[in-house]
């Protein structure tokens, strides 16, 4: 017998996500207020750290939107639970970004000072010397990231859901954090090996895919009470493939993107010596002179815009960039195929729209 679709089902998933999620920039404010209340007796220093961590948040809020899409597509309908879980996801992202900036020595994110940059400026303004300010800023970055992780996990274990659901939410987040840590370690250690021996795709699977796509899909399904063995397998396949594609696209923007749009210097990854698939493939295919040029530029703090332009020319001429684009497309198709066969149809369609946006990213 034909059953008329509900009014909610007639509204596209993306629109329902935006409606129930609300302003994504406010997702973590309630959790930070709770942290502040718990640490109220700790004094103004703790309040300053919370403020610095909260101010570092930003971006496109892609991950909490994926949480929401997964939650709604799997039958979830509790706005308070959705916002709580989506906020926790954003806090995991914030924590890992804060730690990543600390590891990379970056002082700016989203076009403004991050925790380290903000603390350095305030410490210097207060009269601290360069070394003292740097030590305080590094400690603040480490502790702010730790605090964001703690806040995320506390938000999950206190979410308005049955105990079994809360445990599964926290367990999923911890597993993703562990994988991201392993990926970050592999990424950093990769800087000590010849670039042609690096493993950027493996790093992307561990460091980016685990918490940027797989975890949001998991949290949404778990919160909705629809996370069984088959769903878990599909989400892992989808998340890994789409997450790798996302990171490869991010690397492409890091080298070829317009800094005015991306908010990131086209020299940053080269000066940091980042081992990307673009560089690995270019070194594999280039002649001796071009390999030497890349080696001279990669990891050099003195690399210039002219050096970056020449590396881009080599990456393009060797076909390395085209090969990366083909790899991105292959991973997108693999992930979408898995979504079509293993996830709710409207979620698969939503991810297909997301993949279209990934193909045309400018930032």
Span 198-227, pLDDT tens digits: 999 999 999 999 999 999 999 999 999 999
Residue 361 CA to residue 357 CA, distance in Å, equals 6
Percent of the chain with pLDDT over 90: 82
**Is 86 within 8 Å of 68 (Cβ atoms)?**
yes
Read off the pLDDT band of 135 (50, 70, 90): very high
What local confidence, expressed as pLDDT, does residue 9 receive? 53
Which range (2-6, 140-144, 251-255) has the least confidence? 2-6
Would you say 53 and 99 are in contact if contact means Cβ atoms under 8 Å apart? no
Tokens (6 digits) for 301: 């703090």
Evaluate the CA torsion angle 79, 91, 107, 198 in order and state its sign: negative
Structure tokens belonging to residue 139: 């400690």
Q: Where are the alpha helices (DSSP H) in the chain?
A: 13-21, 29-38, 44-55, 62-73, 79-104, 115-125, 130-157, 163-190, 200-203, 215-223, 229-256, 259-262, 268-271, 277-285, 288-297, 305-317, 320-342, 345-359
CA 93 to chain centre: 6
Structure tokens at 340: 């079509």
d(CA 219, CA 148): 17
Q: Which of 129-133, 144-148, 224-228, 353-357 has the lowest mean pLDDT?
A: 353-357
Instruction: For residue 253, give the nearest of 313, 290, 261, 282 by alpha carbon.
Output: 261
Q: How far is residue 147's CA from residue 236's CA, in Å, rounded to a whole number?
A: 28
Mean pLDDT of the chain: 93
Token output for 112? 């403004």
For range 147-175, the mean pLDDT? 98
Angle made by CA atoms 24, 251, 295, in degrees to the nearest 5? 150
Could you tell me what percent of the chain has a pLDDT over 70? 96
Q: What is the pLDDT of residue 18?
A: 94
How far is Cα 213 from Cα 224, in angstroms, rounded to an integer? 17
């Amino acid at each position: 017998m034909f059953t008329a679709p509900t009014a909610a089902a007639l509204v596209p998933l993306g629109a329902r996500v935006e409606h129930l999620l609300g302003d994504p920039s406010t997702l973590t404010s309630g959790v930070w207020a709770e942290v502040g209340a718990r640490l109220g007796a700790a004094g103004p220093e703790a309040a300053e750290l919370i403020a610095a961590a909260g101010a570092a948040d930003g971006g496109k809020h892609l991950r909490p939107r994926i949480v929401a899409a997964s939650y709604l597509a799997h039958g979830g309908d509790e706005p308070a639970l959705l916002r709580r879980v989506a906020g926790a996801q954003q806090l995991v992202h914030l924590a890992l970004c804060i730690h990543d900036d600390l590891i990379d020595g970056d002082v700016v994110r989203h076009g403004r000072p991050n925790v380290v940059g903000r603390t350095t400026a305030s410490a210097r303004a207060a009269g601290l010397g360069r070394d003292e300010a740097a030590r305080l800023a590094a400690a603040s970055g480490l502790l702010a990231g730790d605090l964001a992780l703690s806040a995320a996990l506390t938000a999950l274990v206190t979410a308005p859901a049955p105990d079994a659901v809360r445990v599964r939410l926290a367990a999923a987040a911890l597993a993703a954090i562990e994988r991201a840590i392993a990926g970050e370690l592999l990424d950093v250690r990769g800087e000590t090996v010849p670039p042609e021996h690096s493993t950027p795709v493996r790093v992307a699977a561990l460091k980016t895919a685990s918490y940027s796509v797989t975890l949001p899909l998991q949290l949404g399904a778990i919160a909705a009470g629809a996370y069984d063995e088959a769903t878990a397998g599909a989400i892992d396949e989808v998340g890994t493939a789409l997450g790798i594609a996302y990171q490869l696209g991010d690397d492409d923007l890091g080298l070829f993107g317009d800094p005015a749009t991306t908010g990131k210097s086209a020299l940053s990854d080269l000066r940091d010596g980042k081992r990307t698939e673009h560089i690995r493939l270019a070194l594999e295919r280039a002649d001796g002179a071009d390999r030497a040029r890349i080696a001279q530029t990669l990891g050099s703090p003195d690399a210039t815009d002219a050096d970056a332009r020449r590396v881009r020319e080599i990456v393009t001429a060797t076909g390395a960039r085209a090969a990366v684009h083909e790899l991105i497309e292959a991973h997108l198709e693999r992930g979408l195929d898995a979504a079509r066969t293993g996830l709710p149809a409207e979620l698969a369609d939503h991810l297909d729209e997301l993949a279209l946006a990934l193909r045309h990213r400018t930032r």
